[in-house]
Structure 1
Amino acid sequence: MPSLGPGSLLLIALVALLIFGPKKLPELGKAAGNTLREFKNATKGLADDDDDKKKNDKQ
């Protein structure tokens, strides 16, 4: 699977700007960041639970 180059990222940003407009784009970025942060926290909690379970199984 090829990676996205700088030209592709610029094209995606331009299309997003045209579709959503300059006023809505920062709100969408903030919402995406919050979503990723929540997902990261949720998966970290799952990984911590798995580590605790492995430690308890060894004892």
Structure 2
Amino acid sequence: MGRLGPTEIILILVIVVLLFGAKKLPDMARSLGKSARILKSEAKAMKADDSKDAAAGPPSDPEQPAAQRTIQASPGDVTSSRPVAEPTDRTTQR
């Protein structure tokens, strides 16, 4: 009891395909993988920040804000790495 056999796994896969549709499954898997990569890189960055803070000791100025970090796009992700031009409002210009 509690173990899934091949019949149960096939039944679960058929239900998933029926619920979400075969066309959406690759997109869902891709976005899940991208989210996992981002989570992994953020966890790695947090560990690096913690180890750097522990090695540096107490801050000299507690009022000074922490430096901001930039999250880099994953390799092959060209949509989030392109610069975006700000739209201009041409309705008020003459």
Q: What TM-score does the superposition give when structure 2 sets the normalisation length?
A: 0.47
Structure 2 residues not aligned, in runs of 5+: 58-94
Q: Highest CA radius of gyration, 1 or 2?
A: 2
Give the whole-Å Cα distance in 1 for the aligned partners of 2:13 and 2:19.
10
Structure-1 residue corresponding to 2:45 = 45
Give the whole-Å Cα distance in 1 for the aligned partners of 2:32 and 2:9.
17
Give the whole-Å Cα distance in 2 for the aligned partners of 1:6 and 1:49.
45
Identity %: 27
Higher relative contact order (Cα pairs below 8 Å, separated by 6+ residues): 2
Q: 1:53 to 1:9 in 2, by over 3 A?
A: farther
Q: What TM-score does the superposition give when structure 1 sets the normalisation length?
A: 0.70
Stretches of 4+ aligned residues off by more than 2 angstroms: 4-15
Aligned residues: 55
Structure 1 residues not aligned, in runs of 5+: none
What root-mean-square deviation, in Å, do the aligned CA atoms of Structure 1 and Structure 2 show? 2.4
Residue correspondence of structure 1 range 1-59 to structure 2 within 5 A = 5=4, 7=6, 10-57=10-57
Going by fraction, where is helix more abundant, 1 or 2?
1
